[in-house]
Structure 1
């Protein structure tokens, strides 16, 4: 691995390794698989050449590398702060600021918003070097690591507890779930998803009539979950039919946090990605952006521009921390007495876990993350000359 090269590229990050982790491996792989369904063939070919240079293929899977960034954190401790972002003033559910007057926790640039922007910049440089036949082995290795980080960071950005610093993103917030003592982060990281996988309708164990979905499944335990997300959520008439276009859109005037955010490379596009209905048309809309925008432009905001806007995308996800994620029972003040052996709030109840299930909260967050990841990867890697000719 080329740690020093990428370390410098990501601005010399901290050596402290927090205990905060994002979606479990399954959650990250689900987001990556949703993204892969929507990748333009030329984008996937280029991605495969980066990830598997010794065995290039036009049909690799990106899901196996989606959790890589968590696995290497014990060796790459400098990367830890890039998995999350938090504000000094943020204390859900009673106070939600993103950020407040105190700004972000940690050092400048060292959060998931800056991480998304920085690794995207590294990959833009790689694309330009490839176009100019200036690549080297070290450049390819740097791009491989940046791509793995990008897939992971966009997943982390869609996990609400990665957007607040309270109790280390919920790791220090003890709760009970189905009678088991756990913490809020672990509940959202894996337990809610595990419960959902166990209770899926049996009909989703069989293929659905969406070939673009079926050919990108790998026989994983979560395949039925992905089928349901597409069949009931993403296709025309699905739960999110009328809102997916907004997932792929950045404000015409990039949003600026109320306090200074990480400054990093910004690449202006000027056009948003449209949503037109079916799974196939969604995929084509996700790649249509490639032929319309340059890959470089004017820096307009510390992390956001009109094409890739991690702050604007993350802000409403952060709000879920106040609206849903943090139960009011956890809002003891710092001066309030705590019982020696507290009865932790039980969250496997209709008012909490039942609401998350009924409102499809996890499914929507993962679908949103997958669609946005596909949009960014297509913008980076799809061949503009081929986009208009592609019929899925």
Structure 2
């Protein structure tokens, strides 16, 4: 019997240009971890909001993983949403300086970034839950909730990719590097290559089912199932178990009151949401409250850009002249499925994609990719994304009447296996 699994936070991979963070595998892994941690009452409500059978007709059992990549699959129809996948500070220049945001504030439109998008999606869903309980849910509100929920699942994954918290060199897209002697860029390396290489190195023992029905139920027979089992067994239920309550903490409560309402124009509701956000919330700190705090959660993730993500050697000869110019902000190579992402590596875990070139900095080294692997940095980020997403979803949708039971779940002390 697995013990003390955190199940709620609060009361509670052919590639195309994209503007998102983790590749398909990363988003699906984070969403799978989130599903493992959901209160039992949450999935039926969420699956109804997602209208799951209509978006996944070939997969009858409802899962969070497939909707987690929805915002990427429809990106060419939603170009206005591109800035919502990332955030950048005007004073930020890793690895030399990490400012979040710094004296001159954020780049772009106020609130039009991943932190503001998480807050907006949460607010829309809060309104939806309220109207549903009052028996006043309209077709438009249902559609708003459906889209907001898919955005929320995706944006919580985006926020946990460090290079989507910095605007330098388009989040590393402009910085050519080598991986196993093959050319890529810093953003793509973090977006999917580190995860794909890790999938090739999962111990075989994790290919067998674990004594946890809840973990097994959340898996879908994918290429990353063993990786999720390993993260759960050795990370969430192992080395990070005592840290997880800290992952879910938010600062002291702020004064915040916001209820978004929309005219009957479904196609532009996110633009309307951002407009209202600018007028009502003002500064970015107000994305946070005592239950959901994307800015607070993102700060240590952003700090990783100076600690390990951005190599100092990229600012030194001969590698400081290897940048690309002219592409759109934060665009990168995003593979269509986890299987395509994994196919970039041979069975020995060596990257075989990309052309050779240079001189570019080699990052498939013990000092760089080796250190990231040994410290379980990517795995921890994926686990944090999943557990925090579960916390937000449980806060929104969990049906818990007993105050003592709610307290146990809110403190992450509920044993559910």
Q: Is the 8 A contact 1:266 1:305 kept in 2?
A: no
2:95 paired residue number? 93
1:198 paired residue number? 200
2:377 to 347, 351, 361: 361
C-alpha separation between the residues in 1 aligned to 2:323 and 2:253? 49
1:251 paired residue number? 251
C-alpha separation between the residues in 2 aligned to 1:191 and 1:338? 20
1:112 paired residue number? 114
1:216 to 218, 226, 232: 218
CA shift for structure 1 position 265: 4.0
2:240 paired residue number? 240
C-alpha separation between the residues in 1 aligned to 2:84 and 2:258? 16
2:398 to 382, 385, 390: 382
C-alpha separation between the residues in 2 aligned to 1:350 and 1:311? 32
2:311 paired residue number? 327
1:24 paired residue number? 23
Normalising to structure 1: TM-score of the pair? 0.80
Q: Is the 8 A contact 1:118 1:265 kept in 2?
A: no
Q: Is 1:49 paired with 2:48? A: yes
Q: Is the 8 A contact 2:52 2:62 kept in 1?
A: no
Over 3 Å counting, the alpha-carbon distance change for 1:339 and 1:166 in structure 2 is closer
1:153 paired residue number? 155
- After superposition, the CA RMSD in angstroms is 2.8
Q: Is the 8 A contact 1:167 1:173 kept in 2?
A: yes
Q: Is the 8 A contact 1:84 1:163 kept in 2?
A: yes
2:185 paired residue number? 183
Superimposed CA distance per residue, residues 48-82 of structure 1 (whole angstroms, 9 cap, x where no aligned partner): 10112667999611110001111111111111111
1:347 paired residue number? 363
Residue 66 of structure 1 aligns to a residue in which SS? helix
Q: Is 1:315 paired with 2:299? A: yes
CA shift for structure 1 position 20: 3.5
C-alpha separation between the residues in 1 aligned to 2:77 and 2:257? 25
Over 3 Å counting, the alpha-carbon distance change for 1:36 and 1:135 in structure 2 is same
Q: Is the 8 A contact 2:231 2:379 kept in 1?
A: yes
Superimposed CA distance per residue, residues 236-291 of structure 1 (whole angstroms, 9 cap, x where no aligned partner): xx111221110011012569xxxxxxx99499xxxxxxxxxxxxxxxxxxxxxxxx
C-alpha separation between the residues in 1 aligned to 2:91 and 2:22? 24
Q: Is the 8 A contact 2:175 2:322 kept in 1?
A: no
C-alpha separation between the residues in 1 aligned to 2:206 and 2:254? 40
Worse overlay, 339-348 or 69-78 = 339-348
C-alpha separation between the residues in 2 aligned to 1:61 and 1:363? 21
Q: Is the 8 A contact 2:176 2:322 kept in 1?
A: no
CA shift for structure 1 position 100: 1.0
Residue 67 of structure 1 aligns to a residue in which SS? helix
C-alpha separation between the residues in 1 aligned to 2:174 and 2:84? 20
Normalising to structure 2: TM-score of the pair? 0.75
C-alpha separation between the residues in 1 aligned to 2:204 and 2:176? 33
1:286 paired residue number? none
CA shift for structure 1 position 140: 0.8
CA shift for structure 1 position 21: 2.2
Over 3 Å counting, the alpha-carbon distance change for 1:299 and 1:179 in structure 2 is closer
Structure 1: gaps spanning 5 or more residues:
1-17, 256-262, 268-297
Q: Is the 8 A contact 2:18 2:72 kept in 1?
A: no
Over 3 Å counting, the alpha-carbon distance change for 1:132 and 1:59 in structure 2 is farther
- In the alignment of these two chains, the number of paired residues is 334
Superimposed CA distance per residue, residues 15-69 of structure 1 (whole angstroms, 9 cap, x where no aligned partner): xxx9532100110000000000111121111101011266799961111000111
